[in-house]
Amino acid sequence: MKLWKALAAIAGVAAAAALIPYQVEKDEETGVTTMKALAWTAVKAPNPEDGGTQVEVSILPGLTPEEAAAPDDAAEVPAPDPAEAEMFDDSVDLADIIPDPEKE
């Protein structure tokens, strides 16, 4: 029975860690409040159409295909260096690189 109690405690701690927000940001200029947790993200913003507020909640943020396919901070791939390309070229034969003592 002790094993089940330990597993239940671990599951409870994991659920609490996923559901309790770890970051709350408020932009005073725009009035937008963002709450982030491991399992969800909520954004509360003023609605310019009717003067109320709008709330957007996303469950499991970062796991949607759109976000995975096009990250915002993706770095550009640098152009290959010609000297490196020559070093790793597979078409070069070892006989061209290693001198043969019998020919000398």
pTM for the complete prediction?
A: 0.51
pLDDT in tens, 11-46: 998 888 888 888 889 988 888 899 988 888 899 988
Top pLDDT among 15 and 80 is at 15
Listed by start position, the domains of the chain span 1-62
Contact between 56 and 42 (Cβ < 8 Å):
yes
CA distance 4 to 10: 10
Overall residue count recorded for the chain in this entry: 104
pLDDT the model gives residue 74: 55
- Assess whether pLDDT exceeds 80 at residue 93: no
